[in-house]
Amino acid sequence: AQPIMKVSGGLKLCASIDGKGQCRKASSTELAIANIAGIIVITGTVRQAAEESSRMALALDVTQAVLAREQRLSALGALAAAAAHELGTPLATISIVAKELAREAPTASVKEDADLLIAQAERCREILRRLTDAPAAASDEVHERMSLLQLMHEVIEPHADVKGVRVEAIVSGAPGVAAPDIWRMPEVLHAMTSFVENAVDFATSEVLITVRFDADTVGIEVRDDGPGFAPEVLAKLGEPYVTSRAGVEGGRTGHVGMGLGFFIAKTLLERTGAIVTFQNGRPRGAVVAARWPRKRIEVTAADELT
């Protein structure tokens, strides 16, 4: 940068200032270099701002797409009930064939895969049984309300079979306060599932989800026993393209995320009225917490009458 001397009437660009404070006037070459340097700085700043704007726009587009997808999936509840009888027969066939494979398995690995197929087929059949036995109740459950226990079940279920990691949920409330039923919101389901998935990916052996409620608030905390968040990104976590565990490879997927998933999840929860925080646990691990005013997500008796 060129030295600047303040003179009456404005600023004067100096090539250098001697010990007596005298300004040596910049040559035309030096002025040209200074101008070019200024243009480069301005161009770089504009380019950086444009890139950040583009990234933010992309992240917001992805957020809207995720939300739209979750809402479409929610609307499939009635169709699932109608298709339950049709799906029963092929699932029964899959279960029978898988049992035969397990019985005749040439290796332990093949038997393990067959047993997993049997378990998943039975899980699908149980879901279909619930839809067939109580379609009206199931439809209401899909579209409108759910208990905190139901929320935890849906969030944990995709990760129940992850080897080497125990995923556990605890729901506790203030003494004398009844647990609320909450609105079934795609934003909450997607975001909490995303946070649990990240915790499972980096956990050493355990992920604990704690739900606490009182008369005024409902909070959910996801805690793992992994390496925790990198200190240099903790303050910016939740912004697009800020990775959650910089320099740490996921223990189960082997990837280092770009942070877009955390940005989407945080944005979705904030749309429902939540305050979302990130911190490192003691002595280790990562902690993600979301906290709502109870009235923002609770289904009340007055709501049911409308």
Residue 123 shares a structural domain with residue 196: no
The CA distances from residue 174 to 2, 72, 84, 149, 179, in Å, are: 65, 36, 40, 16, 9
Least confident of 35-49, 139-153, 157-171, 200-214: 35-49
Q: Name the residue with higher pLDDT: 231 or 168.
A: 168
* Final residue of a structural domain among 39, 70, 101: 70
Out of 135-139, 201-205, 251-255, the most confident range is 201-205
Residue 125 shares a structural domain with residue 103: yes
Judge whether residue 230 has pLDDT over 60. yes
- Condensed to tens digits (0 to 9), the pLDDT of residues 136-165 reads 444 444 457 899 999 999 999 888 777 789
Mean pLDDT computed over 123-142: 58
Residue 26 shares a structural domain with residue 137: no
Peptide bond into 283 cis (omega under 30): yes
Out of 20-24, 80-84, 177-181, 283-287, the most confident range is 177-181
Residue 151 shares a structural domain with residue 242: yes
Predicted TM-score (pTM) of the model is 0.55
Residue-level pLDDT at 265: 87
Residue-level pLDDT at 79: 56
Q: CA–CA separation, 244 vs 233, rounded Å?
A: 7
How would you classify the pairing of strands 166-173 and 206-213? parallel
Mean pLDDT computed over 177-193: 92
Number of H helices, E strands in the chain: 10, 10
Judge whether residue 295 has pLDDT over 90. yes
Residue 114 shares a structural domain with residue 254: no
Q: What are phi and psi of 14, to 5 degrees?
A: -115, 145
Structurally, the chain folds into a number of domains equal to: 3
Mean pLDDT computed over 215-227: 96
Judge whether residue 284 has pLDDT over 80. yes
Residue-level pLDDT at 53: 61
- Domain with 267 in it: what CATH number? 3.30.565.10
Residue-level pLDDT at 142: 46
Mean pLDDT computed over 99-122: 87
Burial letters 125-153, b for 16+ CB under 10 A, else e: beebeebeeebeebeebbeebbebeebbe
Note down the domain range covering 27: 4-70
The CA distances from residue 41 to 2, 19, 38, 44, 50, in Å, are: 14, 30, 5, 5, 14
How would you classify the pairing of strands 217-224 and 286-293? antiparallel
Q: CA–CA separation, 42 vs 36, rounded Å?
A: 10
Least confident of 63-67, 131-135, 176-180, 199-203: 131-135
Residue 84 shares a structural domain with residue 152: no
Q: CA–CA separation, 220 vs 171, rounded Å?
A: 9
